[in-house]
Amino acid sequence: MNQQRYADQVLRAADPAAGDTPELDDRARTDLARILATPRQTPTAAPVGHRRRGLHISIPRPRLTFTVLAAAVLAVVAIALTTVLPSGGGRGAYAATPAELTVLDTSAFAAAGMDPTATAPQLLETIAERAAALPDDTSAGRYARIRTESWDLFTQVDGEQVTSEVVPQATTTWTAADGSGQTIRSYLWPDGDTDTETTEWPAGRTLAWPLGSLSSDPDVLAQQLEEAHPVANGPAERLVAVQDLYREQPLTPQVRAAVLRYLAATPGLEVTGMVLDRAGRTGLAIHLDNDLGGLPNRETMVIDPADGRVLAAETRLTETAGALNVRVPAVISYESYLEASYVNDVN
The model's pLDDT over 184-239, given as tens digits with 9 standing for 90+, comes to 999 888 778 889 999 999 999 999 999 999 999 999 999 999 999 999 999 999 99
In angstroms, the Cα distances linking 61 to 58, 65, 209, 255, 303 are: 10, 9, 34, 44, 43
From the number of C-beta atoms within 10 Å of its C-beta (0-12, 13-18, 19+), residue 341 rates as middle
Global pTM value: 0.76
Length reported for the chain: 347
Encode pLDDT of 55-79 as tens digits. Answer: 333 223 222 233 333 333 333 222 2
Give the DSSP per-residue string, 207-234: PSS-TT---SSHHHHHHHHHTTS-GGG-
Q: Where are the domains of the chain?
A: 3-343
Cα–Cα nearest to 81, from 11, 154, 189: 154
**3-class secondary structure, 6:** helix
**Inter-residue contact 247 to 312 (CB < 8 Å):** no
Output Rg (C-alpha) for the chain, integer angstroms.
20
pLDDT in tens, 5-34: 445 555 555 555 454 434 444 444 444 444
Going by pLDDT thresholds of 50, 70 and 90, the confidence category of residue 138 is very high
Q: Is 201 left (phi over 0), alpha (psi -120 to 50) or beta?
A: beta
For residues 339 and 311, the answer to whether their CB atoms sit within 8 Å is: no
